[in-house]
Amino acid sequence: MRYNWNWAILVTEPYVYWILSGVLWTILVSIAGWILAFSLGSLVGIARTLRQPVVRAVAGAYVEVFRNVPLLVQIFLWYFVLPEILPPRAGTWLKRDLPHAEYWTAVVSLGTYTACRVAEQVRAGIQAIGRGQTYAGLATGLTSFQVYRHILLPVGYRIIVPALTSEFLNIFKNSSLALTIGVLELTSRTRQISEYTYQPIELFTAATVVYGLMTMAVMLAMRVVEARTRIPGMISVEAK
């Protein structure tokens, strides 16, 4: 194997700035996607545990649809298909006037996809709490809403912290798919620079290290969350 090593490429201008901006975009897409995934996923997950059959069916359908279509296909649907099937004015706005359209598309597709996985975890967390707690809450005169607010959710979320950690990590990894619609995130930038400079090994090594560091950072942060919110004497569970 003949290869001209040149590690200095990583700190050469303008490439060093490209890599840094790639890292920044990866973080921006992932965090924004996670906010959407966590809020939407919580709603859907709670809906799956409610008593109304219609609400449960809609939430269940959401999970099945988003879980069973590859993320890449979902990204294409959001980016290429949605603007065409919307009313013309909305479609044109999405295609022409929305600033950073590819960024928002990536956030929405990652967020809605990860939401279905978060929803399953939230549901599992709520269902892991014995029925007795709900009955006890209702018997003491709490409304259904209060039972969720004060009993099921505070305990349920604490149970699923480890499972949410791995979903949060997944969103960082999945954000690399945003390159297919032109978001210049880390993977996209490293591929671009390695094509310009013919130094793929250095660049992909750098990207590998950065993804590893992001994984570690997320795990450390979530470990703090887990320690802060732990209920003494309880063991965490994960959804099947």
Partner 1 sequence: MAGIDLAYLVSTLPLLWEGMQVTLLLTVFGVVGGIALGTVLAVLRLSRTKPLALAAGAYVNFFRSLPLLLLVFWFYFLIPLWLGRPVGGYYSALISFILFEAAYFCEIIRSGIQSVRHGQIFAGLATGLTYRQTMRSIVLPQALRNMVPVLLTQGVNLFKSTSLVYVVGVRDFLTAADVIGTRDNHIIEMYCFAAVVYFVLCLAASISVNRLQRRYAL
Q: Return the residue of 8, 39, 84, 100 that touches partner 1, per CB under 8 A.
A: 84
- At CA 70, angle to CA 67 and CA 72, rounded to 5? 135
Residue 112 · residue 79 · CB < 8 Å? no
Q: How far apart are CA 14 and CA 5, in angstroms?
A: 19
Binding piece for partner 1, criterion CB under 8 A, among 34-42, 93-101, 140-148, 190-198: 190-198
237 touches partner 1 (CB under 8 A)? no
Q: How far apart are CA 174 and CA 163, in angstroms?
A: 16
Residue 78 · residue 109 · CB < 8 Å? yes
For residue 224, the minimal CB distance to partner 1 (Å) is 19
64 touches partner 1 (CB under 8 A)? yes
Q: How far apart are CA 52 and CA 41, in angstroms?
A: 18
95 touches partner 1 (CB under 8 A)? no
- At CA 147, angle to CA 144 and CA 149, rounded to 5? 110
Q: How far apart are CA 190 and CA 185, in angstroms?
A: 9
Q: Return the residue of 80, 92, 150, 229 that touches partner 1, per CB under 8 A.
A: 80
CB of 64 or CB of 135, closer to partner 1: 64
81 touches partner 1 (CB under 8 A)? yes
Binding piece for partner 1, criterion CB under 8 A, among 38-46, 81-89, 132-140, 144-152: 81-89
Count of residues touching partner 1 (by CB under 8 A): 40
CB of 21 or CB of 215, closer to partner 1: 215
Interface residues with partner 1 (CB under 8 A) are 1, 3, 64-65, 67-74, 76-77, 80-81, 84-85, 169, 172-177, 179-180, 187, 190-191, 194, 200-201, 204, 207-208, 211-212, 215-216
